[in-house]
Chain A
Amino acid sequence: MTQLASSAALKATMARYFQALGDAAERKTAPVAWCTSVGPAELLRALGFQVFFPENHAAMLGAARQANRVMPLAHAMGYSQDICSYLTTDIGAFRLDESPLASYGLRGVPRADILVFNTNQCRDVRDWFEYYGRHWQAPVVGIRSPRYLDEVREDDVDGVARQIEAIIPPLEAVAGRRLDAAALAETVRLSRRLSDLWGACLDTAAHRPAPLTFFDSTIHMGPAVVLRGAVEACTYYELLLAELEQRTLAGQAAIPDEALRVYWDGMPIWGRLRALSELFAEFRTNVVASTYCNSWVFSALDPDDPVHSMARSSLELFIVRSEQPKEEYLERMVQRYQVDGLIFHDCRTCPNNSNTRYGMPQRMTERLGLPTLVLDGDVNDLRCFSDEQARTNVEGFVELLTDRRPAGTR
C-alpha cells in the first residue's frame, strides 16, 4: 500500500479546522455550534458559527482505540452498551476530560453555544446532543426527519425545509446576526462543489486497478464531513483529485497487483482500520467502494434554492431510505465499481447503519448473483469484534471469490 501524497495537506487542513474551533471556544472568536454529521451544516457556517461534529470526534477516539477505556463511564451513567457506541465513547471521554483534540492544542471538545441535530440518521444523535444541552444549559434545536422513505416526495422535502427555516431564529439569536441569503447561497455553492469533488475522488476507484481504498477514503473524507461549505475543503479535494487522477493515468494501484474488488456496506470499524486494511491488502483485495464514504456526496445541493435543496439532500441519503431504494443503490454501486462481492458490516450498536438484519445480504446475492459476507463488529466497541473470527471470515470469503474466477485469472 502506498500512502497518498495529499495526506500532508489533509493533516494541515484538519489541523487548521480544529485550531479555529479551539480559538472560537476558548478565545471567543466565533460562536460554536455542534452539528450532526449530515445535519444542516451550511446554515450554521453561513451564520458565522465554527461547526463541531461530535461523530468525527467519536471516530477519532475509536481510531485511537480509546473507546473501550472511556465507554464504561457512560454505561454507568445509564447509557446502555446496546446504543450508539459513538455516543457512549464521546460522553465517556467528556466525563473523563479526555480528548484527542488535545494534540491540536484544545483543552477538550469545544463548548457548544447551540447544538443542532437531524434525526435523519437515528434518534441517538438527539439524545447525545441533549446530554450536552443539559450539561451546558445550551439550546438544542433540530430537525425531526421522516425516515425509511421509498421515494423522496415533495411534501417530505417541504416538511424538512420548514423545520430548517424554523431553527433559523434561535440560531440567529445565538450567532448575534441575521442570516444573509447571499452568504447561505455561497455556502451551499461551496458545499456542492466540495461534494462534487469528493464524489469524483471516490469515483476514481471505478478504475481498474483502483487508485485508492475504502480505508484511505475513511481518512480522507475528514474535510467532506467537517468543512462543508468552506473553501479550504474544496482546495484540499482539488489536490486529492489531481493526485488520484494522476495515479489512474499512471495505472498506479492502491493495492499492488489488485486481484479482487469488494464493496463495503455499513460503518467502518475504527479501532481496526489499519488491521483490516492490511488484511485485505495481504490478499490483494481492494475494498474499492462503500456506502459510508459516499454518504457525504450531496448532489441535490443547489445555491439557487438553498433551504429546499438542503432538505432534499438530507432525505436522499442512503440511511434515510427503505430497503428497495437501498438495494437499487447497491446494485448501481456494484455495477459502477465492478466488484466481485459485497461485505456487510453488522455494526452491533448501530442498527440504522447495519443493513444485515432484514435479509438484505441474502437478497443481494439472489439479485446480483454475487457472494456476500456479513462481518460482525462495531464502529467503536471492540468487545463486539473478534480479530481471529474476522480473519477467517475475510480469508474464507477471499478464497470463495478467487475460486469463482475463471481459471487463469486467479
Chain B
Amino acid sequence: MRHWAGVDVGSWNTKAAVIDEARQVVGTAVVRSGADLKGASERALREALVAAALDPTRLVQVWATGFGRRSVSFAQGSRTELDCHARGVAAYVAGPLTVIDLGGQDSKVIRVGADGRRLAHRMNRKCAAGTGSFLEEIALRLGTDVSKLDALAGTASEDLELGSFCTVFAGTELLSLIRVGKRPGDLARAAYRSLIKRVIEMDVLQGTIVATGGVFGHHATMVRLLEGQLGRTVIVPPHPQEMGAFGAALAAQESSLIPAGKEASPPAARQDEDDE
C-alpha cells in the first residue's frame, strides 16, 4: 500500500502525519521545533513513520507546511498552513465551515465553502495576544507549567475578566488580581476567556465551527468556553494538533494522483529555489 506524509513546521512544535491510500492517518508525531527546523522536520517524520510502523521507502511524497515549510529540504511540495488546516478539516467535516486554528505564535480563522474550498482567511496582527504564547506567559505568571493550566482552570469558581488587549498588560493585570487574593484557578480560566475574545473578534464565524491547533488540542477549557461564548457546538476533529501536517499529506496525495501537467498547486517556486 502506498503512503504519503505531511510535515508542519510550527513556531513551537513540528508535527508530522502519515496517511494511507484511504486517507486514514496511520502515524503522527510532535517534536519541539527549536532552532534547527530542518532537524526537527526530519525527526518528526522519522517518529511518525515509527508510529506507523512504516519504512520510509513506502512514502510516495512528503509535503511541508507551517512557517518553517521552506526548511523542509526533503519535501516535494508545500502549501501554507492556511490551506492545509482547511484541507485537513474538510476531510472530516462537511462545509460550509469556519476553522479556528490556534498555534503557538499565530491564530487563524479560515472560511471554507460548501464545496470544501477555502474562501477567505484572517490572521492575527503582529502581536502575541490571541496565540498560544499568551498562555505560556500566563502560566509563568501563575507559577505553573502551561501543560497544567487546563486542569487549574477546571478548579475555577469565580468569573474574572482580563480586559487588556496586550499580553504584557494582561500579565500586569493578572499580578494585580493575584495581589487582591484572587485564586489561581479563576485566573487561569480568565486567561482562556481572554484568548477566546481575541479570536472571535477576528472574523464572523459562519457554518460549522471547527477548532484545530495545539492550543485547542491540549486545553479542553478553551473548547468549552468557545462553545459557551458562541452558544453552539464546536467540533474538534481527530489529531487537532497535527491537522496541518494531515492537510499537507492530503495535498501530497492529491498532487501525486493528478496526471502530470494538471497539478492544482499554486504557481509557487520550488523548494530548492528558496534563498533565505
Contact = CB atoms under 8 A, between A and B. Distances in A.
Does A associate with B in a complex? yes
Interface of A: 257, 259-260, 282-285, 365, 371-372, 374, 376, 384-386, 388-389, 392-393, 395-400, 402-404, 407-408, 410
A407 B123 CA distance: 28
B83 A399 contact: yes
B125 to A, nearest CB: 5
A260 B126 CA distance: 27
Given A376-B125, A392-B123, A404 B268 contact: no
Contact of B266 (A372, A384, A393, A402): A402
A393 B106 CA distance: 12
Contacts of B122: 374
B237 to A, nearest CB: 20
30 contacts: A257-B267, A282-B269, A283-B268, A285-B267, A372-B120, A376-B126, A385-B126, A389-B106, A389-B123, A392-B82, A395-B80, A395-B266, A395-B268, A396-B82, A396-B83, A398-B266, A398-B267, A398-B268, A399-B83, A399-B118, A399-B266, A400-B83, A400-B118, A402-B264, A403-B117, A404-B117, A407-B264, A408-B262, A410-B266, A410-B267
Contacts of A388: 67
A283 B83 contact: no
A257 to B, nearest CB: 8
A179 to B, nearest CB: 49
Nearest to B117: A403
Interface centre among B81, B121, B265, by most chain A C-beta atoms within 10 angstroms, is B121
Contacts of B262: 407-408
Contact of A283 (B82, B106, B123, B267): B267
B31 to A, nearest CB: 20
B123 A393 contact: yes
Nearest to B204: A362
A1 to B, nearest CB: 14
B119 interface: yes
B81 A392 contact: yes
B79 interface: yes
B267 to A, nearest CB: 4
Band of interface residues on B: 20 to 34
Contacts of A404: 117
A399 B126 contact: no
A321 B33 CA distance: 48
A259 B267 contact: yes
Contacts of B121: 393, 396-397, 400
Given A376-B125, A384-B126, A403 B120 contact: no
Contacts of A372: 120
B66 to A, nearest CB: 9
Contacts of A386: 126
Contacts of A398: 266-268
Give the top 8 A-B pairs by smallest Cβ distance, nearest first. Answer: A396-B82, A284-B267, A396-B80, A402-B266, A386-B126, A259-B267, A399-B266, A282-B269
Given A282-B268, A386-B126, A395-B268, A371 B119 contact: yes
A407 B119 CA distance: 17
Contacts of A257: 267
Contacts of A384: 126
A396 B81 CA distance: 8
Contacts of B67: 388, 392
B123 A403 contact: no
Interface in B75-99: 79-83
A279 to B, nearest CB: 10
A386 B67 CA distance: 12
